[in-house]
Amino acid sequence: MKKYLAEIIGTFSLVFCGTGAIIINQETGGTVTHVGIAITFGLIVAAMIYSIGNISGAHLNPAVTIAFWVAKVFPAKEILPYILSQGTGAFIASLILKFLFPANDTLGATLPAGSAMQSFVLECILTFILMFVILHVAKGSKEQGMFAGLAIGSVVLLEAMFAGPICGASMNPIRSISPAVVSGHMEHLWVYMSAPFLGAIFGVVFWKILKTTSVSEN
């Protein structure tokens, strides 16, 4: 239960702080700024990895959980409890933000600025890069090393910084689902429910290729 509670708290914190930054930026006429939003997402991911990484692995993301299972470093029996925990944390965060900012229209939901296909491709590539990095600084479901949080948080910040204005740089199905459902803006939600899973699995494929190559060379 500690693992599941950790995932609830971690995903709650991610959605509350990340989408909260988007909402507050809208409510205050751009005080937070796009750069500030990207930094917020990167910092909260890093903070959660350092605080709960040794308890649950700080997945905070169903695509990451599924990808760890595909990589054969995470048990199948834990997939559903982890995803339910992540969903619980995310929806609690979005509901609280709805209570705090009832007039806000989108509640930080990810919506494509261009075409849906453009955002789909971007989300695939962004999540591929993120998962590729995660697998190289993590072992199994436990985040390892002093710099794991810094590396993963930096990737989230980097990708949100340059791709956020176009696709929202979600890289996380539940981060997109909860504000979309609570706000009622579920148009294009298929992009954010499918692309991160596809990108994360590609990340596993290339991680395995490099891992096999490295072993054979040695």
pLDDT band at 194 (very low <50, low <70, confident <90, very high): very high
Between 215 and 12, the higher pLDDT residue: 12
pLDDT at 148 over 80: yes
Out of 3.30.950.10, 3.60.20.10, 1.20.1080.10, 3.40.190.180, which CATH number does the structure's domain 2-217 have? 1.20.1080.10
Percent of the chain with pLDDT over 70: 94
What pLDDT, on a 0 to 100 scale, did the predictor assign at position 138?
78
Three-state SS for the chain is CHHHHHHHHHHHHHHHHHHHHHHHHHHCCCCCHHHHHHHHHHHHHHHHHHHHCCCCCCCCCHHHHHHHHHCCCCCHHHHHHHHHHHHHHHHHHHHHHHHHCCCCCCCCCCCCCCCHHHHHHHHHHHHHHHHHHHHHHEECCEECCCCHHHHHHHHHHHHHHHHHHHHCCCCCHHHHHHHHHHHCCCCCHHHHHHHHHHHHHHHHHHHHHHHHHHHHHC
> Which pLDDT value is given to residue 214?
59
- Average pLDDT score, the chain: 93
pTM of the model: 0.93
Digit-coded pLDDT (tens) for 106-147: 999 999 999 999 999 999 999 999 999 999 887 544 445 568
Q: Kindly tell me if the per-residue pLDDT of 215 is higher than 60.
A: no
Per-residue pLDDT tens digits for 152-179:
999 999 999 999 999 999 999 999 999 9
Per residue in 8-40, pLDDT (tens digit) is 999 999 999 999 999 999 999 999 999 999 999
